[in-house]
Structure 1
Amino acid sequence: MSRWIATFIAAACTLLGISAPLRADPAPEAHLRTANLHRAVEDGRLRQMIGQMVLVGFVGDSPDDDGYKRVVKQAEAGEITGVIYLGRNISSLEAVRQLNKGLQQYATAPLLVAIDQEGGRIQRLTGEVGFREVPSEATVAKTMSPDEASVVYQDLASDLSSLGFNLNLAPVVDLNVNPANPIIGKLGRSFSADPQKVEAYARAFIEAHRAKGVLTALKHFPGHGSSTKDSHKGIADVTKTWSDKELLPYKGLIASGDVDMVMAAHVINAKLAFSPDIPASLSRATLTTLLRDNMHFKGVVISDDMQMQAITDNVSFEDSVLRAVMAGNDILIFANDKHPDPAIPEKVAAILSEEAQRNPEMLDRIKTSYENVMRLKRKLGSAVSQETTVVRER
């Protein structure tokens, strides 16, 4: 506990001197802010802030596996904000519980322990290991009322929490615009084509998880439901098929304060990004102007997996990291699925640190993301709240 407190106090002391964005201002205060920011670069505290922006997958399902040992060390060093589980990490429920206990035990700061547990085809924890599965979103909306769905989702959240998970990367709020969509409609991942119905069931999902202390993330912003392709496998362009009604569930849920996170999609939507080449996840017009400024979202923006082919086939690793952060993502996911790279946190930190030393805007973006993430982590419980109160919203 004392290590967590010391870490947050040290970080807060740095942040106290950098509460305003840098500008070309000759005033002494501006020079002082610049000095404080660059001092953070020099003494390594910037690396701690960047660490809170990186969420990774790992290889292994046992404490003895090298992949698990590596993420434990990264958590202890403050190089990651959390981990994401895939099926490969799950051998038994008790093994998962022990893995998560170990991660939190050694972490410098509270970790986000994430999983995609939507229901139906998309759930990493399955009946094969004794986990209570839930129906797909499509089935839930067809067979249950929102109140009945809430009971199912409270059981789900309770089961996740008992294993040490505190973030479910769900619900999907994509509208079922194209039932033949290979990654949404065909898999039953959408509640409905009706925005109001999607909002009602998503709210039941979110509030059920919140009651059990589990965070959630709306996906896939600004809408993946009309796509004809799968962004895991390459470019998915929704410019001609997308409509602004796909934003309605986001608008309603954000307005009511029911959103912890929004996940940015790797779909191209030139109507919003004002470019036929920039995916939403790398678009400042989409994530900052639309989501932050126009829709007034104050929570955490998290990218979809940055190793999906929609990104890796078209943008270099370095450029994708820089553009994602400048667009407005607070956390970048690297699931390490097909081509695992345990050195991802170090590579991301090196890229962002170098850029921050020459670009005050990047430095300010990192600070803002750090504050957004730490504010989110205060929702995880009273123990976390007490240890992160030094990080104030500015």
Structure 2
Amino acid sequence: MLKKILNVSLIILPVMLFSSNDVSLEQKIGQMLMVGFHGTSAKPNSQICKDIKKYHIGSVILFDYNPVNKNKPKNIANKKQLKKLTSELQSCSYDGKLLIAVDQEGGKVQRLKSKYGFYGKFPKASDVIKMDQSQIRSTYIKMSKELKSVGINYDLAPVVDLDINKKNHVIHGLGRSFGKDPKTVAKYASTFIDAMHHYGVLTSLKHFPGHGSSVGDTHKGFVDVTHLWNKVELEPYRLLNKKADTVMVAHVFNKKLDAKYPATLSKKTVNGLLRKKLGFDGVVITDDLQMGAISKKYGLKKTLNLAINAGDDILLFGNQLDPKRVVSSKKLVNSIKSLVKNGDISLKQIDKAYDRIQKLKRRL
């Protein structure tokens, strides 16, 4: 009889462990956070490890460049060190499915550089399109394999912005776009996603609802695309809405879509346009909420309130852009908790985000 009872309990236990009813509010909130941190290791007594354990932080973002001391790496020093760091980070997580992200597009935007012992010569998108399809596939499979080899499971790419403004420094100037035709862009982005999936790396289409027409840089401040933006910029998201793992929303302001808020903080743009109109039901991640376009205009609580109510699931705080404005996981969790307590954010909204994130993690 005892043997039978033990067998039954073994069957029931895993179900109980993964029931969202058993997860505390602060742990659900923790799953919604992607944070950057300083350190090339994550020992059990490190702040990042303690935060991941305590709050069930869902994702981290890694950088090579250290804004505090440019002579020292922030998180990425070499292959061996990075593999150890990601392993230590996973050991801190409750489910072994911590999302460990980098920006690895190719060209100027690749965190795994040759000076750290990585390949580091992946071409930018505007050069990729000059290659044939099999070359492109093998290029991106090589990139995916390298990410996987050091424990990175989430690439904040591909860029699906259309190359429609030659004065655009951020996309056109850096050759980050696959071109101006949405079908062509979707085709190359699809090859990129397939290659990443080959080694179990998740991806993110960016920057919704389109950064290709802009002139300004949202890293530095407010960028209004109202008179430059074109509806055709939505097309790659429509074409890839069933394939995309996640979509990253940009901080661009477009009066035609929302007369009050930039895309990241806009319910009309995220919930209305991306989810309802274009049919995307996966995870939505914000661009870095410490970028000038947001931080210069909104306080932390207002930013969190608007972002979650807009329908964003993962809130990105890279702790990268301004060493004086590092925000702790504790402060983020407590700020969101108090917004829920005050009725500014509904528990239902947190649960929806939590469920979408769990569904995403099951793909790993």
**Offset at 1:6?**
7.1
Aligned to 2:140: 153
**Offset at 1:358?**
3.4
2:248 is aligned with 1:263: yes
Deviation per CA, 1:230-270, whole angstroms, max 9, x where unpaired? 0000011111001110011110011xx21000001000011
Deviation per CA, 1:149-177, whole angstroms, max 9, x where unpaired? 11110110011001000000000000011
Which of the residues 127, 136, 147 maps onto 2:124?
A: 136
Aligned to 1:121: 108
Aligned to 2:198: 211
Aligned to 1:56: 35
Residue 65 and residue 121 in structure 1: after superposition, are their counterparts in 2 closer, same or farther (change >3 A)?
farther
Matched ranges for 1:300-379 at <5 A? 300-340=283-323, 343-359=327-343, 362-379=346-363
> Which structure 1 residue ranges, 5 or more long, are not aligned?
16-39, 381-394
Aligned to 2:90: 104
**Offset at 1:339?**
3.0
In the aligned structure 2, how far is the partner of 1:71 from the partner of 1:216?
A: 23
Q: What is the TM-score normalised by the length of structure 1?
A: 0.83
Deviation per CA, 1:22-54, whole angstroms, max 9, x where unpaired? xxxxxxxxxxxxxxxxxx8xxxx0001000000
Letter in 2 for 1:100: T
SS at match of 1:77: helix
Task: Out of 81-90 and 210-219, give the one that drifted further.
Answer: 81-90
Deviation per CA, 1:60-85, whole angstroms, max 9, x where unpaired? 2244798xx21111112234111101
In the aligned structure 2, how far is the partner of 1:284 from the partner of 1:324?
A: 8
Letter in 2 for 1:51: G
Letter in 2 for 1:118: E
In the aligned structure 1, how far is the partner of 2:33 from the partner of 2:155?
A: 17
SS at match of 2:173: helix
Task: Out of 72-81 and 231-240, give the one that drifted further.
Answer: 72-81
Residue 369 and residue 50 in structure 1: after superposition, are their counterparts in 2 closer, same or farther (change >3 A)?
same
**Offset at 1:198?**
0.5
Matched ranges for 1:114-263 at <5 A? 114-133=101-120, 134-141=122-129, 143-254=130-241, 257-263=242-248
Letter in 2 for 1:249: P
Q: What is the TM-score normalised by the length of structure 2?
A: 0.89
Count of residue correspondences: 341
Pairwise CA RMSD: 2.0
In the aligned structure 2, how far is the partner of 1:247 from the partner of 1:231?
A: 19
Aligned to 1:47: 26
Residue 64 and residue 210 in structure 1: after superposition, are their counterparts in 2 closer, same or farther (change >3 A)?
closer
SS at match of 1:118: strand
SS at match of 1:56: strand
- Contact 1:171 1:206 survives alignment (8 Å): yes
Percent sequence identity over matched residues? 40
In the aligned structure 2, how far is the partner of 1:13 from the partner of 1:126?
A: 40
Letter in 1 for 2:196: H
2:66 is aligned with 1:80: no
- Contact 2:222 2:292 survives alignment (8 Å): yes
Residue 7 and residue 86 in structure 1: after superposition, are their counterparts in 2 closer, same or farther (change >3 A)?
farther
- Contact 1:168 1:215 survives alignment (8 Å): yes
